[in-house]
Structure 1
Amino acid sequence: MSEKISFIGAGIASSYTLIPLIDKLITAKKKVNLYIIDKTENFYQGVPYGKQSGEAVLLINDLKSFIPIEAYRKNFTDWLDVNLNDLIDDFSSTGCELSKSWIINNSDDMRAGNWDNLYIPRFFFGKYIKDQIDKQILKVKESDHITIKEIKNEAIDIQRLKNGFDIQFIDKSTLRCNKIVLSTGSLPNKKIFKSNLKIPHTLKYVDNLYQPTIDNNINEVAKVLALRNKNKLKTSILVLGANASGLEAIYRIFDQTSFKSELNTFTCLSTHGTMPDGKINHEKLSRFNTINLDDLLKYNTLTADQIAEAVNKDLDFAESLNLGAASTVSRISKGFGKLLTRLNKDELIKFACYHGNQIGRRQRCAGTHYLSVIDELIKEQRFFQIKGRFNNLELCDNSFKLEFLSSEQNLINTQLNFHIVINCLGSVNLESPHIPELYKNIFKKKLASINASKIGLKVDGDMQSSKNFYIAGPMLAGNLIEDRALWHLEHCGRIIWSSKILSEKIYNDV
């Protein structure tokens, strides 16, 4: 009798679990039926690397940071070398001027195979991972003991049975299986505005940059800009959040012909009132040392709070030198990384749940391709920043009114006359009432529970939240996997590493 394993969510965490798992199952001649479930058409690529993100956005980090594991990176770069011409043709045909400039500026390095320092188009990786999975599917079809089936549907509920589970879909169909891998990626973004209100055609509100696709939303923004330009109306674009999505929104809109008018401006609201850093300042870096982290090296036993306090003091010192994250991130990360081995398991979990992401928010870096656009806008006096926290957005007659909590004064402030608003505030946490119906039902049925990070699920040593219910990808945040603290699972390197371990756990239990 075949064992039935269902993957709910078909992003790269599922892909990097399936690739080694299929090889193991074929070699061992174990009878298994694999079901790959996703509510979108982005099978095996997910939102960041598939159609929803389009073919005109680049990695936020260079390739060696994106895939730090050398063996995995080499497999990818070997594939890039073979498929380079087709990839460049695709990128050139879908992008605008910025894409064409990127090709010209990086052509020599690509032809020479010097990939490590490049901020490549994200869809390159999406095509690569899809190609790797397609090869595995061919192996499955050639076997006589494994099957694989793709199901485009949305899972909304799961019932535990005596010998497995019953997955219920939004169309009321069901699927029975013995094991489940929950790999649904990041949670939905924060809802800030009642989108059912009738918005005038001279204004635009984008609630989710990637829904239905980034290309669709950018085209809609470009139409509004063109209409306002025709009527000689100034357009103020508000981007809520200075994260990767916020940078992508600015980059893509800047590249539209209808944005070029000097009447059009960007304003970005963020907690720190700064954009990510992208340039290493070697002169100032020579005056920086991780004094507080180094001081902790004399202790054999530490607490998570002690390490976090030392990190923040060293980052404060860096800020006093006007030294950005691009310069300090390597030293800071190595500094506290050495100290994590001196934490017991409870303190490691505490660091993963409370401190890891907070430190990460102070060490935000991005490639110069994104930041050079910001620099150009600043020179043209068309880019402004607000330091504060989002409070409310209201639709007025001919504009949107923003309310925000000032970081310095702790007072509610307002700023009027925004005509296009892009919501990039990030995801809700698992305690939000706006989580997907599937998660609400999973918690109700006690198939999983929220860990202290509020952005991840508790798992045991086998990466299960309950018997035969495995967790993959971003929902592993706030856990220890093989005694390694994980606090941010939206990083490709960590997804590859954790998914390989998960494939071994599943195989051993089949």
Structure 2
Amino acid sequence: MSEKISFIGAGIATSYTLIPLIEKLLMDTKRVDLYVIDKTDSFYSGVPYGKSSGETVLLINDLKNFIPLDDHRTRLKNWLDKNLDELLQTFMLKGGELSKAWITNNKEDIYSGKWDDLYIPRFFFGRYIKEQVGNQIEKAKKSSHITIKEIKKEAINIDSTENGFEIKFSDESTLTCDKVVISAGSLPNKKLFEANKKIASSLKYVNNLYQPTIDENIIDIVDVITLRNKKKLITNILVLGANASGLEAIYRIFDQQSFKDSQNSFTCLSTHGTMPDGKINHDKLTAFNTLNLDKLKKLENITADQIAEAVNKDLDLAEGLKLGAASTVGIISKGFGSLLPKLNKEQLIKFACNHGNQIGRRQRCAGAHYLSVVNRLVEEAKFAQIKGRFENLKLQDDSFKLNYYSPEVNASKSLENFHVVINCLGSINLESEYIPELFKNLFDKKLAFINDSKIGLKIDDQLQASKNVYVAGPMLAGNLIEDRALWHLEHCGRIIWSSDILANKIFENI
């Protein structure tokens, strides 16, 4: 009798679990039926690397930092060399001036296979991983003991049964299985605006840059800009958030001719009032030391709070020297990373839940391809940055009005006259009333529990939220896996590592 295992979510975490799991099953005789469930068409690439993100945006990290695991990166580089002509042809066809510039500027490295320092187009990786999973699935189909079925539906509920679980879908159909893997990716965006009346065709609000796809949203934005250009009206674009999504929005819109045809502009609101950093200042770095972290190295008993406090003090010192994250991220990360083994399990979990992401927000880095666009906009007086916390967005007759809290004046402020608004402020947490129905039901039925990070699920040493309910991907945030503290699972290197461990756990428990 076959064991039935269902994966809810078909993104990168599921891909990197399936590849080693199928490999192990092929060398065994265990009979297994695998079900891969996703509500979108992004099977095995997920939102970041599939159709939703388009074929012209680049990685936020260079390849060696995107996939720090040498063996996995080597396989990807070999695949890139083999498929180079087709990949570049698609990139050129879909892209504009910036895509051509990327190829021109990196031509020598591209054609000599020097990929490590390049910020490659994201869809390159999406196609690669989809092909790798596809190859494994084909091997499995040729076996006599493994079956795989893909199901394009939205899972909204899971019930425990006498023999396992029953998954319920939004179309009221069901599926029974013995094990479930929750691999549903990141939570939805915070919804910042509800229109109480129809928005004029000369305005546009985008709540999620990748839904339905980035290409469709860019087309809609271009239509608004083009319409306003014809009427000789300037388009002021407000980007809420200075993270990777915010940079991508600016990058893609800047590459549109309609944006360049008039004195259109960007304004970016973010908590710290700065864009991610991309340039290492080697001269100033020689004068920087992690004085506060170094003091902790001399102590035997330390806490998560002490490490976090020391990190923030050292980052303050760096800011005083006008050193950005690109210069300090290595030395800071190495500094607190060397202290984490001194923490007991309770303190490690506290660091993962309460401090890791907060530190990460002060260490945002990005490639020169994104930041050069921002610099060009600044030089052309088409870019403004605001330090503050979003409060609300109001629709006026012919524009949007932003209300935000400014820490500089310790009061609320307003800015008007925005015509395109793009929400890149990030996701809700698991305590929000707007979490997906699947998670509401998991919590109500005590099949899963929220950990103290509020963005991840509690797991045991088998990576289970409860018996036979496994967790993969971003929902592992705020946990220890093999004594390693994880606070951010939207990084491909961590996903590969944790998914390989999960594949072992699942295989051992079949």
Corresponding residue of 2:45: 45
Is residue 233–residue 263 contact of structure 1 (8 Å, CA) maintained in 2?
Answer: no
Is residue 153–residue 169 contact of structure 2 (8 Å, CA) maintained in 1?
Answer: yes
Residues 1:178 and 1:196: Cα distance change in structure 2 (over 3 Å): farther
**In structure 1, what is the Cα distance between the partners aligned to 2:385 and 2:308?**
28
Q: Which runs of 4+ in 1 moved over 6 A?
A: none
**In structure 2, what is the Cα distance between the partners aligned to 1:429 and 1:312?**
24
Amino acid of the structure 2 residue aligned with 1:219: I
Is residue 195–residue 395 contact of structure 2 (8 Å, CA) maintained in 1?
Answer: no
Alignment of 1:91-490 (within 5 A): 91-195=91-195, 197-490=197-490
> What TM-score does the superposition give when structure 1 sets the normalisation length?
0.99
- How many pairs does the alignment contain? 510
> 1:262 Cα shift?
4.0
| Helix, strand or coil at the partner of 1:28 | coil
Is residue 271–residue 407 contact of structure 1 (8 Å, CA) maintained in 2?
Answer: no
> What TM-score does the superposition give when structure 2 sets the normalisation length?
0.99
> 1:65 Cα shift?
0.4
| Helix, strand or coil at the partner of 2:327 | helix
> 1:195 Cα shift?
4.2
- The worse-fitting range, judged by mean Cα deviation, of 445-454 and 98-107 is 98-107
Is residue 9–residue 183 contact of structure 1 (8 Å, CA) maintained in 2?
Answer: yes
**In structure 2, what is the Cα distance between the partners aligned to 1:382 and 1:407?**
24
**In structure 1, what is the Cα distance between the partners aligned to 2:382 and 2:134?**
46
**In structure 1, what is the Cα distance between the partners aligned to 2:468 and 2:300?**
38
**In structure 2, what is the Cα distance between the partners aligned to 1:15 and 1:30?**
20
RMSD: 0.7
Residues 1:152 and 1:195: Cα distance change in structure 2 (over 3 Å): farther
Which runs of no fewer than 5 residues in structure 2 stay unpaired? none
Identity %: 69
| Helix, strand or coil at the partner of 1:64 | helix
Amino acid of the structure 1 residue aligned with 2:414: T
Which runs of no fewer than 5 residues in structure 1 stay unpaired? none
Q: Deviations over 1:98-133 (max 9, x none)?
A: 101111111110111100000000000000000100
Amino acid of the structure 2 residue aligned with 1:91: F
Is residue 7–residue 183 contact of structure 2 (8 Å, CA) maintained in 1?
Answer: yes
Is residue 240–residue 246 contact of structure 1 (8 Å, CA) maintained in 2?
Answer: yes
| Helix, strand or coil at the partner of 2:414 | strand
> 1:196 Cα shift?
6.2
Q: Deviations over 1:213-245 (max 9, x none)?
A: 000000110011011011111111000000000
> 1:60 Cα shift?
0.3
**In structure 1, what is the Cα distance between the partners aligned to 2:489 and 2:216?**
27
**In structure 2, what is the Cα distance between the partners aligned to 1:452 and 1:288?**
34
> 1:178 Cα shift?
0.1
Q: Deviations over 1:267-301 (max 9, x none)?
A: 00000000000000001001001111111111122
**In structure 1, what is the Cα distance between the partners aligned to 2:496 and 2:410?**
41
Residue 13 of structure 1 pairs with residue 8 of structure 2: no
Amino acid of the structure 1 residue aligned with 2:302: L
**In structure 2, what is the Cα distance between the partners aligned to 1:241 and 1:284?**
28
Is residue 7–residue 14 contact of structure 2 (8 Å, CA) maintained in 1?
Answer: yes
Corresponding residue of 2:82: 82
Corresponding residue of 2:509: 509
Is residue 229–residue 262 contact of structure 2 (8 Å, CA) maintained in 1?
Answer: no
**In structure 2, what is the Cα distance between the partners aligned to 1:307 and 1:141?**
50
**In structure 2, what is the Cα distance between the partners aligned to 1:107 and 1:138?**
35
**In structure 1, what is the Cα distance between the partners aligned to 2:486 and 2:162?**
32
| Helix, strand or coil at the partner of 2:278 | coil
